[in-house]
Structure 1
Amino acid sequence: MTEPLWTLDTAAAAMGGRAVADAAASRDLSGISIDTRTLKVGDLFFAIRGEARDGHDFVRDALARGAGAAVVAEERAADLAEAGPVIAVPARDEDGVLAAMRGLAAAARARTGARVLAVTGSVGKTGTKEALRHVLAAQGVTHASVASYNNHWGVPLTLSRMPAASEFGVFEVGMNHAGEIAPLTRLVRPEIAIVTTVEPVHIEHFRSLSGIADAKGEIFYGLEPGGVAIVNRDNPNFERLEAHALASRAGRIVSFGEHREADVRAERIVMRPDLSIVDVRAMGQAVTYQLGTPGRHTALNSLAVIAAVQALGADLALAALSLAQLRPPVGRGARTMLRIGDGEALLVDESYNANPASIRAALSTLAGAETAGRRIAILGDMMELGADAPALHRELAGAVEEHGIDLVLTAGPLMQELFEALPASRRAAARPTSADLVDPVLDLVRPGDAVMVKGSNSTRMGRIVEALKARYGAQDQDLAVGRSG
């Protein structure tokens, strides 16, 4: 019989709350939910207050759908208890229900014997987290963040969902502002913390790249005593990140990259259209592995995975074998063949997010795609770049030229800057929004083309991906193009 994730009484005790329905105090809870649309029978539903909606308005619906119980603010408990079992939690200056979920997350961390890792970085943190999930799952029961659940509610939600029997836990930790990572990493208490890289992402909230490096360096604040800090040796902010690690409770700092002084160093990276081959010297040990996703950026991030596996004392050879089967997260490089007439076109879905570094990486990967036709980049605005945003978009013209991208279509006023910076021969279409760009894209694509779609999540470039699949049919490929941020 499967052990419950929590029981109602243990969950209530962990959160400092009280079970209003005493008869249900021993009720088993099989999961955690904050959204009735994805709620499963037996979930513990948290009525979190969001920017637009209050979760308390959905408690009755959650209980009617089979939630095992709901966590509600004390002042709402009497009104909602008639709908089913609820746990009342005390009010606080902030959202008391969210604070209660942090309490449950802390209890989950306290009860586990799992080896815990945390990953952050301007680019590549989700892909690195997924790679760690993939390789560690072959060596033990592994729990990891869903999608990019890396913020003030995503991290405690993920941690509170962690089964007690987990052997490994992998957590993604993100930020938009300074000071956001520190409380999350102290909650996760990793024994291994990774910073993939530092790039001008969310730069509008910082004075400089150094400020972003300092914010990323907060991930080391939560390291368990004697833990391992893993840092990108190639990044110009390496010494700044190293200083944060030295100021933490880390017992060791491990660097990765192509730098000659990197502890885990790529001696050779062979790029192929649908995979990479990496020769690594890891703390003096030679390792060669095939990576099931192409792209130099993905290969370099895989070095952090190798460093983490070695720091854990896990099976390095098995991890190297597992990397050959690695596939990218949704919206971060998934490869699909479109059926157009009697031929096919390659679609690369990078629509989840974008910044200058990840777009350059995606263009490089598109350049390496095997195709008899044109290489087409469909790009949406990059957000949170501050006053330099127009210039940062224009500067992508050099990467388009360098990688021989044949045609570019853009959505949004910022990408209009790039469009105008390109020679006329590379301009296909520019529109105000991704919705306006759908028809031009559908009319343009021909058999033999390789098409890459990328933009910040708020630009909704995914609608172009879905429109292409709907019009031309689609078959997801076993091989996929790697994530670029």
Structure 2
Amino acid sequence: MTPLWTSDEAAATTGGRATRAFAATGVSIDTRSLGPGDLFVALTDQRDGHAFVAEALARGAAAALVSRRPEGLPEDAPLLLVPDVLEGLRALGRAARARTRARVVGVTGSVGKTSTKEMLRATLGGQGTVHAAEASYNNHWGVPLTLARMPADVDFAVVEIGMNHPGEIAPLSRLARPHLALITTVAAAHLEAFDSLSAIAEEKAAILEGLEPAGRAILPAGLEVSPVLAARAAALGVPAVTFGQTADADWRLADIQITPEATVARASHAGGTFLFKVLTPGRHFASNALATLAAAEALGLDLTIAACDLGLWTPPSGRGTRERIALDPVDEAGFDLIDDAFNANPASMAASLELLAAMAPTDGVGRIAAGRRIAILGDMLELGPTEAELHRAVADHPALAEIALVHCVGPRMRALHEALPRRQRGEWVETAAELVPRARLLVDAGDIVLVKGSKGIKVSLVVDALRKLGQSSPSRT
């Protein structure tokens, strides 16, 4: 395998000193997922990565990027010593970006970043080689890690860029230097750090500051803050196309049909109409898919091939994945599980509830005669001083009328629990772990169960408990 980083290259790039020669075929920050030949980066985040260097080397790491020699290592341990590990990782990312031939797409937005990144991976991958992070690596270490792992000879790279506070996106975009910037949407999220939706839009628009010369933008139309995005693009001289459901959108969604197995949409562009689909239900997926097709055209790809490849896409785990849990191995009676446990804000919560409402449970197969739509909803984090009202307002969403039972997880979700009609009010618990022992009592054969919440509230524990009730497999298609 061709080395991604030799010791000489890595030392020259970071200004560090290699204790011995090495050749790394990958880059890792986690010993649990580290592969033989990786360069282990000893970041200090929630824990100090220097404490795991010995384990990384024992697992086959080619070397470790460190700011000091950890105690107990042999004298000949392969290390790359740098003044600051995070700065060293940024330097590797900057150098990898400089040497690649790839056309780079930067993706940001309040909702749908990871799903859109994966749609782009599927779509671009049919017409070239693609590099993209395997997870939602979109922060101050995730973006440089994505870049540092990038081979020089790929055709495309997709870089997800996120934020929690003002001033975070522009430096990451300048590091990634995208040729194309895509903003999925702007919604109420991270309101702890921003005083208005317009302020969030300004921060999202900062991705345009890192564009390469002659770079282009794909922007959502029809939002309250769409003029903010358009104004920033105009001020920077960035050509932009828009997508959405409004008449003025360059790529316009004219019709969306949601079935239990897929989303089929009709759209118009440049005077013509076309159909496309994705193999999962959800109105929000149609919007992200349309933006993906706009990106494919901007990159000069064949749109027919792109639409066909897009039609095979399904969501990554925890982002709306639908699966079947068979409770009885004989007659395969079971329930459908929608795993959306890694992100939640008012916009994505609404989209997930609409998805659940559009799906049909199965009657007559469980202890309860009628199959039910059930939502297990965890706290939406980082919403700021209006968080209680934003949680309570979920009770007013029209899709909730189609949902039989809502269980609530977390202190913020208590506001929703108290606002629900008695017939829909399920359990309320402070933590997700409290629901785990009761998983079998929450569902029945024939049900469709949505689990949704911010990653920090850990409703993924409930997802795991529900999976363990039976045999998991992809839902029927």
Q: Same fold (TM over 0.5)?
A: yes
| Other structure's SS at 2:187 match | coil
Provide, for residues 183-223 of structure 1, a one-character-per-residue CA deviation record: whole Å limited to 9, x for no partner. 10000000000111111111111111111111111100000
Counterpart in 2 of 1:191?
179
168-177 or 438-447, larger mean C-alpha shift: 438-447
CA positional deviation for 1:371: 1.4
5+ residue gaps in structure 1? 480-485
Counterpart in 2 of 1:60?
54
For 1:108, the aligned partner's letter is A
Counterpart in 1 of 2:261?
274
Counterpart in 1 of 2:454?
456
Q: Does 1:151 align with 2:139?
A: yes
77-86 or 343-352, larger mean C-alpha shift: 77-86
Conserved? CA contact 2:336–2:475, under 8 Å: no
Higher helix fraction (1 or 2): 1
Distance change in 2, residues 1:163/1:403 (3 Å): farther
Q: Does 1:70 align with 2:68?
A: no
Counterpart in 1 of 2:5?
6
CA positional deviation for 1:60: 2.1
Alpha carbon RMSD of aligned pairs, Å?
Answer: 1.6
Q: How far apart, in 2, do the equivalents of 1:411 and 1:58 lie?
A: 34
**Aligned mate of 1:313, from 255, 276, 300:** 300
Q: How far apart, in 1, do the equivalents of 2:401 and 2:316 lie?
A: 24
Q: How far apart, in 1, do the equivalents of 2:66 and 2:203 lie?
A: 33
Q: Does 1:429 align with 2:427?
A: yes
Conserved? CA contact 1:20–1:77, under 8 Å: no
Q: Does 1:236 align with 2:224?
A: yes
**Aligned mate of 2:213, from 201, 225, 228:** 225
CA positional deviation for 1:59: 1.7
| Other structure's SS at 1:293 match | coil
Conserved? CA contact 1:20–1:85, under 8 Å: yes
For 1:149, the aligned partner's letter is Y
Counterpart in 2 of 1:47?
42
Conserved? CA contact 1:282–1:307, under 8 Å: no
Q: How far apart, in 2, do the equivalents of 1:86 and 1:336 lie?
A: 44
CA positional deviation for 1:11: 1.5
CA positional deviation for 1:244: 1.6
CA positional deviation for 1:402: 4.7
For 2:406, the aligned partner's letter is V
5+ residue gaps in structure 2? 363-370
For 1:209, the aligned partner's letter is L
Q: How far apart, in 2, do the equivalents of 1:283 and 1:403 lie?
A: 39
CA positional deviation for 1:398: 1.2
| Other structure's SS at 1:267 match | strand
Alignment of 1:104-183 (within 5 A): 104-183=92-171
Q: Does 1:471 align with 2:469?
A: yes
| Other structure's SS at 2:464 match | helix
**Aligned mate of 2:355, from 359, 365, 376:** 365
Q: Does 1:260 align with 2:259?
A: no
Q: How far apart, in 2, do the equivalents of 1:88 and 1:278 lie?
A: 53
Provide, for residues 39-65 of structure 1, a one-character-per-residue CA deviation record: whole Å limited to 9, x for no partner. 111111111111x32212222222222
CA positional deviation for 1:442: 1.8
Distance change in 2, residues 1:78/1:378 (3 Å): closer
CA positional deviation for 1:178: 0.6
Counterpart in 2 of 1:340?
327
Conserved? CA contact 1:223–1:248, under 8 Å: no
**Aligned mate of 1:356, from 346, 362, 371:** 346
Q: How far apart, in 1, do the equivalents of 2:184 and 2:74 lie?
A: 46
| Other structure's SS at 1:119 match | strand
Q: How far apart, in 1, do the equivalents of 2:63 and 2:155 lie?
A: 27
Conserved? CA contact 2:42–2:49, under 8 Å: yes
Conserved? CA contact 2:106–2:176, under 8 Å: yes
Counterpart in 1 of 2:78?
85
Conserved? CA contact 1:177–1:205, under 8 Å: yes
Q: How far apart, in 1, do the equivalents of 2:105 and 2:117 lie?
A: 9
320-329 or 61-70, larger mean C-alpha shift: 61-70
Distance change in 2, residues 1:285/1:102 (3 Å): farther
**Aligned mate of 1:328, from 309, 315, 323:** 315
Provide, for residues 55-103 of structure 1, a one-character-per-residue CA deviation record: whole Å limited to 9, x for no partner. 1222222222211111122x538985715121121x2xxxx11101111
CA positional deviation for 1:318: 0.4
Counterpart in 1 of 2:389?
391
Conserved? CA contact 1:221–1:249, under 8 Å: no
Counterpart in 2 of 1:419?
417
Distance change in 2, residues 1:272/1:65 (3 Å): same
Q: How far apart, in 2, do the equivalents of 1:401 and 1:295 lie?
A: 13
Conserved? CA contact 2:334–2:446, under 8 Å: yes
Q: How far apart, in 1, do the equivalents of 2:127 and 2:336 lie?
A: 34
Q: How far apart, in 2, do the equivalents of 1:177 and 1:134 lie?
A: 30
Question: If the length of structure 2 is used for normalisation, what is the TM-score?
Answer: 0.94
CA positional deviation for 1:381: 0.9
Provide, for residues 407-432 of structure 1, a one-character-per-residue CA deviation record: whole Å limited to 9, x for no partner. 11111121111111011011121111
Conserved? CA contact 2:260–2:360, under 8 Å: yes
Conserved? CA contact 1:220–1:245, under 8 Å: yes
Question: If the length of structure 1 is used for normalisation, what is the TM-score?
Answer: 0.93
Conserved? CA contact 1:28–1:42, under 8 Å: yes
Q: How far apart, in 2, do the equivalents of 1:405 and 1:360 lie?
A: 13
Q: How far apart, in 2, do the equivalents of 1:401 and 1:173 lie?
A: 31
Q: How many residues align?
A: 466
150-159 or 455-464, larger mean C-alpha shift: 455-464
Counterpart in 2 of 1:482?
none
Q: How far apart, in 2, do the equivalents of 1:334 and 1:403 lie?
A: 23
For 1:19, the aligned partner's letter is A
